[in-house]
């Protein structure tokens, strides 16, 4: 195992110890899905009512994933322009393309680059995905 992977594991462990939910947010969680926060993002998009929930869409019809996220790698901020997404998190930056409920991205952590993807939940308020470092995949989860 390379020193980069070991260093990242140590950093991730320290970030996990600081992750927690705030008392003013209700979290719903099942055994098979990432946590879901019952909160509507503040964006300038229209609300589309479905039979299960209220889903925010951008003018291009994509789900709106912009805003603040609590993730297993620390707090992350995502910005969208059309289907292009950029983001920042404590270890680096990411950029990629959103297609339906899947975000495929590349990331950069101080010169260490790799790829990953997120799949968003039915209500678009949580995700689960992976990112790869030197052919080793790690889980990356988050919610808002």
Going along the chain from its start, the domains and CATH numbers come out as 3-143 (2.40.128)
The pTM score is 0.62
Residues 63-113: pLDDT tens digits?
Answer: 999 999 999 999 999 999 999 999 999 999 999 999 999 999 999 999 899
40's CB contacts (< 8 A; 6+ apart) are 47, 54, 56
CB-count exposure of residue 140 (10 Å: 0-12, 13-18, 19+): buried
CB-count exposure of residue 119 (10 Å: 0-12, 13-18, 19+): middle
Q: Which of 38-47, 56-65, 84-93 has the lowest mean pLDDT?
A: 38-47
């Amino acid at each position: 195992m390379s020193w980069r992977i070991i260093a990242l594991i140590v950093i991730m462990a320290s970030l996990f110890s600081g992750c927690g939910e705030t008392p003013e947010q209700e979290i719903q969680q099942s055994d098979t899905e990432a946590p879901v926060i019952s909160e509507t993002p503040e964006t300038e998009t229209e609300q589309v009512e479905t039979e299960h929930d209220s889903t925010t869409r951008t003018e291009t019809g994509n789900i709106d994933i912009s805003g603040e996220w609590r993730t297993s790698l620390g707090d992350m901020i995502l910005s969208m322009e059309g289907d292009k997404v950029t983001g920042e998190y404590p270890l680096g930056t990411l950029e990629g393309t959103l297609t339906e409920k899947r975000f495929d991205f590349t990331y950069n952590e101080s010169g260490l680059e790799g790829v990953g993807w997120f799949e968003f939940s039915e209500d678009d308020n949580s995700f689960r995905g992976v990112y790869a470092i030197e052919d080793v995949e790690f889980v990356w989860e988050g919610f808002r």
